[in-house]
Structure 1
Amino acid sequence: MSIVTLVSGGLDSTLIAKLAQEEGLRQHPLFVDYGQRARDRELAACRRAMMALGLSEPTIANLPGYGALIRSGLTDATLDVVKDAFTPGRNMLFLLTAAAHAYQVGADAVSIGLLNEDVSLFPDQTKTFLREAEQLIARCMGKNIRVLAPLSAFHKSDVVALAEEKGVRNTYSCHVGGAEHCGACIACNEFKF
């Protein structure tokens, strides 16, 4: 089985790449530049992580116009990174882009690093969303491409523990994109468990 793994350089996506590697899946790492503020640091961490895992350099989906059009705290520094964090359609954009790439490279599935839905903040982080996205992707592509969320039973504390056990380190998870983690954005706050 081959898979397009959505990778951002963060802990969750690096861990799903590590787990897929352990399962012996052929991976096509995909980084989505959607115009996010943290793009440069995320991409640098992503490249380091894929190299550390012995995976290929991530393919980059250059879609920065999305963030210019769909402004949020993740894409526009004039907006609040927490209060305005919801970026409408972001996870669908990720999955549709990954599925189209999967179609092109002959992969069977796409994988996204969503956690347990009881900690989800947005409507595109639930099992229902994932199931319906998979159905929509099948209709759009004319073939079944599975949508996997291997961490969907996990909370952040579980992810941190498993990542430590698996030796996953040097990731970057901050929506602001600074040299130091801001400690206030949603990504940073997930680590305060």
Structure 2
Amino acid sequence: MKRALCIMSGGMDSTLCAYLAKKQGFKIIALHFDYRQRTQLKEKECFEKICKDLGVYKSYILNTDLIENIGANALTDTKIPIPKNELGQNEFPITYVPFRNGIFLSIAGALAEKEKCQSIFIGVVEEDGSNYPDCTKKFIKKAQKFINQGTAIKHKISIQTPLIKFKKKDIVSLALKEKVPLELTWSCYENNDLACGECDSCLLRLKGFKQAGFKDKIAYKI
């Protein structure tokens, strides 16, 4: 049975990708990264619940606190405030974590080699995101090339990005159509209890639900 390594943050996009991979007949190897982000406790909780609902073959939670040590972002540095109500106002917002997807995909490449996976699924969104440079189709194409050049396996690993050209409303609609439990997912950059409703990620999520014509089941502070 073919295997897919699914990078899963506990958020909507990566969760939908994992369910789509399962629908395609892949056995799911779930991978979650702990880089000491503000909402890691909630993200880990969501990841574990999603893995149980999805019935994954195997799951990994890997420590990547080197990302926190590098810093320069508001997700790991609590001294830097999370921007509020500034969606789309900055080319590279302070919530951008330097080369995060590059680090994640490098590690995923090694794990995919170990687990004999044919594909890596990652929920990057280029069209309707926060302008992160490591969420583009061009970047993913080059990442796939360096993974295949740097791994000792006979078959080629493909990086699957089924949502890369989606709008958030399309992600919400498809997820609900595929019966993905979005109430188990988390998007907030700041809180572990009630989603703040003001950070870029919350605003994108709320915008997606509103435009898709559905109500988000998670609770918001604002």
**Fold similarity call, TM over 0.5:** yes
Per-residue CA shift, 1:49-74, capped at 9, x if unaligned?
11112224621111123212233111
Q: Which amino acid is the alignment partner of residue 187 of structure 1?
A: S
Residues 57, 182 of structure 1: CA spacing in aligned structure 2 closer, same or farther, 3 A cutoff? farther
Alignment partner of 1:182 is 2:196: yes
Q: How far apart in 1 are the matches of 2:151 and 2:70?
A: 25
- Which protein is bigger by CA-based radius of gyration? 2
8 Å CA contact 2:27, 2:56 repeated in 1:
no
The equivalent of 1:164 in structure 2 is: 176
Alpha-carbon shift at residue 142 of structure 1 (Å): 4.1
8 Å CA contact 1:31, 1:61 repeated in 2:
yes
Gaps in structure 2 of 5+ consecutive residues: 84-92, 208-222
The equivalent of 1:51 in structure 2 is: 52
Alpha-carbon shift at residue 180 of structure 1 (Å): 0.6
8 Å CA contact 1:115, 1:153 repeated in 2:
yes
Q: How far apart in 1 are the matches of 2:134 and 2:152?
A: 23
TM-score of the pair, normalised by structure 1: 0.93
TM-score of the pair, normalised by structure 2: 0.81
Q: Which amino acid is the alignment partner of residue 7 of structure 1?
A: M
Q: How does 1:99-118 map to 2 (within 5 A)?
A: 99-117=109-127
Alpha-carbon shift at residue 145 of structure 1 (Å): 1.8
Q: How far apart in 2 are the matches of 1:33 and 1:92?
A: 15
Per-residue CA shift, 1:75-118, capped at 9, x if unaligned?
11111324411111101111111111001111112110012446
Q: How does 1:93-132 map to 2 (within 5 A)?
A: 93-117=103-127, 119-132=129-142
Gaps in structure 1 of 5+ consecutive residues: none
Residues 142, 57 of structure 1: CA spacing in aligned structure 2 closer, same or farther, 3 A cutoff? closer
Higher mean C-alpha displacement, 67-76 vs 125-134: 67-76
The equivalent of 1:90 in structure 2 is: 100
Residues 165, 74 of structure 1: CA spacing in aligned structure 2 closer, same or farther, 3 A cutoff? same
Per-residue CA shift, 1:119-165, capped at 9, x if unaligned?
45111111100001111112222443211111112111001111112
Residues 118, 182 of structure 1: CA spacing in aligned structure 2 closer, same or farther, 3 A cutoff? closer
Identity %: 32
Alpha-carbon shift at residue 178 of structure 1 (Å): 2.4
